[in-house]
């Protein structure tokens, strides 16, 4: 899922996923899989297959899961895909105001060569005018500018539903809302009209009343997964595994079709600066643990499982594949010694 | 470090963000949490009085000590108390948290449960109800700073007491609501980590933006060992403060400091180098050992190198194609003659080499061992 475009193994059967012209947000893959974009170009090679459950393991010390969540939600709204958003805050609608807007093409011209001002008029109007992006061909995956909030017209519409899960005593209301939402996207063998997105933020957040009902939460996830399988939608759930007991944390990880985790990195760490190039621009790490393989039995071997999260010019989310993996990156466990972010004391060995 | 925590609490919150929240965490191995709490409280109070902080008032929720204790403490540390009504309010959850004393009093008796009404103390009798507690805190705060954009900060004396009465979910809800309230500038609390389950500690750390852990100076902590008695005494008044700050950009700043407590006043100093366990290398353990231990260094020095001149009469015989060993020792500079010489070896075989003519130039390749001291 996260292969770098330059390196394609000669042994892997590469497929050219064709974008559908009628529904720009969908891409058709092999074996009848249909993909929707995650909103992060570096993470998308294909995207998330419809019918899958994506889970992101949060780090209690960093808010990076919010970046992934925001991009996922914005991408859906830009493609006019209906969205159901559940959050443990009292006012989830307020979060919609922080969703990023797609960056206009102008951004590409700022990088690289600076062209003398008078030449710009020869490039034609479409490059300068971001409005044409909307009228013309829509991209499958946009670059989002985190400093620019999403325009009003994307947010107004009947297709956004917000739920607060803080005060709900149990999960039956949430389950019912999800079921109702997913009836809009039944998976028939016929034509697909549109895809839906469900985003659940910090599912086991401690301020939610159901957060100590561990069996109820896992049973909710199981029913969500079975509902999602039968519909043309993707569910994106983030959760902090440190707040769950270890056995349940494992169970949740097994529930996921696609499993990602984000980790914080220590600040002003000279050793890490020596080990990783580009440390100063990094704000965190992203690990890909599992990729959804629906409709196929072919295992996927990723080129890279660890990415560094960077914010270019504090606006654009960029993931860079780390060639020299930091300690314990491949095992996916808590990172490093007690001096590091997650506080566990395990150090790995470099394989030569 | 205590300074940076105090600064973060003093600077408060930016618009649109959650208020900074500090957890002070200690355990039986190093039970100085309360000293650190009072230190932070004193620093914040003096900042409020001096007008340096974002908040204009402080609401102290007192569970484990009586309000008069805090008043005395602040007086001792030079904080202006008579005018305290303007900047501090204490929510007294210590005297009668569950309202039992009130029920014991027979009607008709005028019993004054609290005589500290003059110093801005409000009695709370329903600590089980988190919503009520939240609204009392907000009310007291508004009473201090009024409506509007002015903020106040909140200090909770002991979270352990609240958790005895209410579930962790409701306590997390209380903290979350305080952090998102428009008028709260910062919030901090003390927690004794061994009084409850790990999950509770994990939840408190999740909800806070700064975690200050108090640990003993040496890792072994409290062990009732006869030989180590001096060690435990050493730990008695000293300790280590480990701070993890969650920064806005998503990175975590880790800092540590030593402290010692003298006559209930705590003093912070930077960590002495022998105790800097934190600076242990994060580089991965390589399978090849690139460092030498001391024994290995000594052994290495003892190895006799084959071409080395040992500096005493016993010399190592080396065959050299152009000159004998004896001659090379006596000569002052590198001289290469074309004469062949028989080598006086130490009895092993000898090779006799005859050059074709004396006019021949010496071997074109220079003796590479010319500069060796053989």
Identify whether the C-beta of residue A278 lies closer than 8 Å to the C-beta of residue A309: no
CB-based contact, A247 to chain B, within 8 Å: no
Q: Which of B238, B264, B281 is the last residue of a domain?
A: B281
Report yes or no on B286 lying in a domain. no
Say whether both B44 and B165 belong to one domain: yes
Say whether both B133 and B264 belong to one domain: yes
Say whether both B42 and B156 belong to one domain: yes
Say whether both B325 and B270 belong to one domain: no
Report yes or no on B298 lying in a domain. no
Q: Which residues of B touch A352 (CB under 8 A)?
A: 287
Asked if B168's CB is within 8 angstroms of A243's CB, the reply is: no
Report yes or no on B106 lying in a domain. yes
Among A205, A271, A284, the residue with its CB nearest the CB of B281 is A271
Say whether both B265 and B334 belong to one domain: no
Identify whether the C-beta of residue A121 lies closer than 8 Å to the C-beta of residue A197: no
What's the CA gap between B259 and B238, in Å, rounded? 6
Among B250, B282, B284, the residue with its CB nearest the CB of A284 is B250
CB-based contact, B346 to chain A, within 8 Å: no
CATH of the domain at B40: 3.40.50.300
Report yes or no on B351 lying in a domain. yes
Torsion of CA A163, A165, A171, A174, to 10 degrees: 10
Asked if B206's CB is within 8 angstroms of A89's CB, the reply is: no
Residue B238: other Cβ atoms inside 10 A: 17
**CB under 8 Å, gap of 24 or more: what pairs does B74-77 form?**
B74/B41, B74/B42, B74/B45, B77/B42
DSSP A243: G
Asked if A61's CB is within 8 angstroms of B282's CB, the reply is: no
Say whether both B255 and B372 belong to one domain: no
Q: pTM, whole model, 2 decimals?
A: 0.74
Say whether both B264 and B313 belong to one domain: no
Say whether both B329 and B216 belong to one domain: no
What's the CA gap between B296 and A130, in Å, rounded? 68
Query: What are the structure tokens assigned to A8, written together?
Result: 């394609």
Contact residues for A188 (Cβ-Cβ < 8 A; gap 6+): none
Residue A177: other Cβ atoms inside 10 A: 16
CA atoms within 13 A on the CB side of B206: 26
Report yes or no on B293 lying in a domain. no
Domain enclosing residue B42, as ranges: 2-220+228-281
Say whether both B60 and B191 belong to one domain: yes
- Closest among A249, A68, A86, A64 to A166, alpha carbons compared: A86
Say whether both B321 and B200 belong to one domain: no
**Mutation to test the A interface, candidates B284, B287, B288, most A Cβ within 10 Å:** B284
Say whether both B342 and B274 belong to one domain: no
For residues B273-284, give the mean pLDDT.
41
Per-residue CA distances from B183 to B13, B59, B121, B330, B345 (Å): 10, 12, 20, 93, 97
CB-based contact, B172 to chain A, within 8 Å: yes
Asked if B180's CB is within 8 angstroms of A264's CB, the reply is: no
Identify whether the C-beta of residue B259 lies closer than 8 Å to the C-beta of residue B239: yes
Q: What is the pLDDT of residue B301?
A: 80
Say whether both B258 and B322 belong to one domain: no
pLDDT, one tens digit per residue, over B323-346 is 444 444 444 434 444 343 444 444
pLDDT, one tens digit per residue, over A292-329 is 888 888 888 777 788 889 888 888 888 888 754 445 44
Asked if B251's CB is within 8 angstroms of A206's CB, the reply is: no
Residue at token pair 């912070």: B268
Q: Model confidence at A140, in pLDDT bands (50, 70, 90)? A: confident
Predicted ipTM of the assembly: 0.78
pLDDT, one tens digit per residue, over A211-269 is 989 999 999 999 999 999 999 999 999 999 999 999 999 999 999 999 999 999 888 88
Identify whether the C-beta of residue B24 lies closer than 8 Å to the C-beta of residue B36: yes
Report yes or no on B16 lying in a domain. yes
How many distinct structural domains can be found in chain B?
2
Q: Model confidence at A154, in pLDDT bands (50, 70, 90)? A: confident
Q: Model confidence at B364, in pLDDT bands (50, 70, 90)? A: low
Among B203, B244, B253, the residue with its CB nearest the CB of A243 is B203
What's the CA gap between B39 and B60, in Å, rounded? 14
**Mutation to test the B interface, candidates A206, A246, A270, A281, most B Cβ within 10 Å:** A206
Catalogue all structural domains in chain A, each as residue range(s) with its CATH number.
Answer: 24-100+145-265 (3.40.50.300), 104-141 (no CATH)
**Mutation to test the B interface, candidates A339, A344, A350, A352, most B Cβ within 10 Å:** A339
Identify whether the C-beta of residue A159 lies closer than 8 Å to the C-beta of residue A205: no
Contact residues for B296 (Cβ-Cβ < 8 A; gap 6+): none
Q: Which of B241, B265, B281 is the last residue of a domain?
A: B281
CA atoms within 13 A on the CB side of B295: 0
Report yes or no on B10 lying in a domain. yes
pLDDT, one tens digit per residue, over A47-76 is 899 999 999 999 999 999 999 999 999 999
pLDDT, one tens digit per residue, over B192-216 is 999 999 999 999 999 999 999 998 8
Report yes or no on B202 lying in a domain. yes
What value does the CA radius of gyration of chain A take, rounded to a whole number of Å? 21
């Amino acid at each position: 899922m996260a292969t770098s475009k330059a390196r394609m193994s000669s042994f892997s059967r590469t497929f050219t996923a064709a974008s559908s012209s009628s529904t720009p947000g969908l891409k058709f893959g092999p074996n009848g899989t249909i993909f929707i974009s995650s909103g992060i170009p570096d993470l998308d090679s294909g995207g998330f297959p419809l019918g899958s459950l994506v889970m992101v393991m949060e780090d209690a010390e960093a808010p990076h899961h919010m970046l992934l969540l925001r991009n996922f939600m914005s991408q859906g709204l830009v493609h006019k895909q209906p969205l159901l958003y559940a959050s443990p805050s009292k006012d989830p609608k307020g979060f919609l105001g922080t969703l990023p807007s797609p960056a206009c093409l102008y951004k590409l011209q700022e990088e690289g060569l600076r062209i003398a001002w008078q030449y710009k008029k020869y490039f034609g109007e479409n490059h300068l005018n971001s409005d044409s992006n909307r009228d013309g061909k829509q991209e499958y995956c946009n670059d989002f500018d985190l400093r620019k909030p999403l325009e009003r017209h994307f947010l107004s519409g009947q297709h956004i539903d917000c739920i607060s899960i803080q005060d709900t005593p149990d999960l039956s209301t949430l389950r019912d809302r999800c079921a109702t939402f997913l009836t809009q996207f039944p998976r028939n063998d016929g034509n697909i009209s549109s895809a839906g997105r469900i985003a659940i933020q910090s599912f086991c957040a401690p301020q939610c009343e159901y957060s100590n009902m561990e069996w109820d939460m896992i049973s909710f996830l199981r029913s969500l997964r079975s509902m999602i399988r039968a519909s043309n939608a993707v569910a994106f759930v983030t959760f902090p595994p440190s707040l769950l007991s270890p056995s349940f944390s494992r169970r949740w990880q097994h529930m996921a079709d696609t499993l990602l985790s984000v980790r914080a990195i220590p600040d002003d760490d000279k050793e890490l600066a020596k080990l990783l190039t580009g440390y100063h621009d990094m704000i965190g790490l992203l690990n890909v643990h599992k990729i959804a393989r629906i409709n196929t039995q072919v295992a996927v071997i990723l080129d890279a499982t660890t990415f560094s999260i960077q914010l270019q010019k504090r606006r654009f989310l960029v993931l860079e594949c780390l060639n020299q993996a930091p300690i314990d990156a491949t095992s996916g466990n808590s990172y490093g010694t007690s001096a590091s972010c997650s506080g566990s004391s395990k150090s790995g060995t470099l394989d030569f | 470090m205590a300074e940076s925590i105090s600064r973060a609490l003093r600077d408060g919150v930016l618009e649109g963000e959650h208020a900074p929240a500090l957890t002070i965490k200690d355990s039986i191995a190093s039970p100085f949490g309360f000293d650190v709490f009072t230190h932070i409280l004193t620093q914040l109070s003096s900042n409020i009085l001096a007008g340096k902080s974002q908040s204009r008032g402080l609401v102290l929720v007192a569970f484990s000590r009586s309000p008069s204790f805090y008043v005395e403490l602040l007086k001792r540390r030079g904080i202006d108390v008579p005018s305290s009504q303007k900047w501090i309010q204490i929510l007294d959850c210590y005297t009668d948290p569950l309202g039992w004393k009130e029920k014991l009093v027979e009607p008709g008796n005028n019993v004054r449960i609290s005589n500290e009404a003059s110093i801005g103390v409000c009695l709370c009798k329903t600590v089980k109800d988190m919503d009520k507690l939240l609204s009392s805190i907000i009310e007291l705060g508004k009473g201090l700073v009024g409506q509007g954009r002015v903020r106040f900060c909140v200090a909770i004396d002991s979270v352990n007491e609240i958790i005895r009465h209410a579930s962790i979910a409701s306590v997390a809800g209380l903290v979350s609501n305080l952090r998102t309230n428009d008028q709260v500038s910062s919030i901090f609390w003390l927690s004794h980590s061994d009084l409850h389950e790990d999950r509770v500690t994990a939840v408190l750390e999740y909800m806070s933006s700064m975690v200050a852990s108090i640990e003993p100076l040496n890792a072994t902590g409290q062990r009732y060992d006869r030989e180590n008695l001096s060690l435990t005494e050493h730990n008695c008044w000293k300790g280590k403060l480990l701070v993890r700050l969650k920064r806005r950009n998503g990175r975590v700043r880790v800092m540590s400091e030593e402290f010692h407590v003298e006559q209930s006043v705590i003093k912070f100093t930077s960590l002495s180098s022998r105790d800097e366990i934190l600076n242990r290398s994060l580089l991965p353990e390589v399978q090849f050992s690139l460092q030498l231990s001391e024994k290995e260094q000594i052994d290495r020095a003892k190895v006799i190198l084959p071409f080395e001149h040992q500096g005493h009469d016993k010399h190592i015989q080396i065959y050299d194609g152009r000159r004998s060993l004896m001659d090379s020792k006596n000569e002052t500079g590198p001289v290469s003659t074309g004469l062949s010489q028989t080598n006086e070896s130490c009895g092993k075989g000898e090779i006799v080499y005859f050059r074709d003519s004396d006019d021949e130039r010496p071997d074109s390749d220079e003796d590479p061992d010319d500069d060796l001291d053989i």
